[in-house]
Amino acid sequence: MTDSGDALHIVCPHCHTTNRVRVAHLHHAPDCGHCHQALFEAQPVALDLTSFDKHIGRSHVPVLVDFWAPWCGPCRAMAPAYAQAASLLEPQVRVAKLNTEEAQAIAARFNIRSIPTLALFVGGQEVARQAGAFRSAQDIADWTRSHV
């Protein structure tokens, strides 16, 4: 990461405004300067066509994305563990979900061939990908941390 006096860009999960947050304040439940809601809530952020690139491209913390679809049984089975993983990873990693049925262009852009697929983005670039469902929140967190 960076020196504790440095500021990071954190995209708000609610209004998608980019906020500057000092590294030293990251663990003190920072709020959005625009909408005043929590920047981290230990829940996956639902991304869509307009918010995906903002979170991936502007965030200074890694972003873990679950590419999923509502009709996918393994996606639904993994969803509780993925939600729990957010509490293990945030605020060092933004945990997000992208419904591939609603954002087919993004799924195509990243060549998502099977779901669920987890992709980890750092500095706007994909650095790791894993297709298939994870069994536990700890497995998701361990996989993510091994690539950050």
For the annotated catalytic residues, the residue numbers are 72, 75
Candidates 75, 64, 81; CA nearest to 115 is 75
Give the per-residue SS3 of the chain: CCCCCCEEEEECCCCCCEEEEEHHHCCCCCECCCCCCECCCCCCEEECCCCHHHHHHHCCCCEEEEEECCCCHHHHHHHHHHHHHHHHHCCCCEEEEEECCCCHHHHHHCCCCCCCEEEEEECCEEEEEEECCCCCHHHHHHHHHCCC
CA-CA distance, 50 to 35, in Å (whole number)?
A: 18
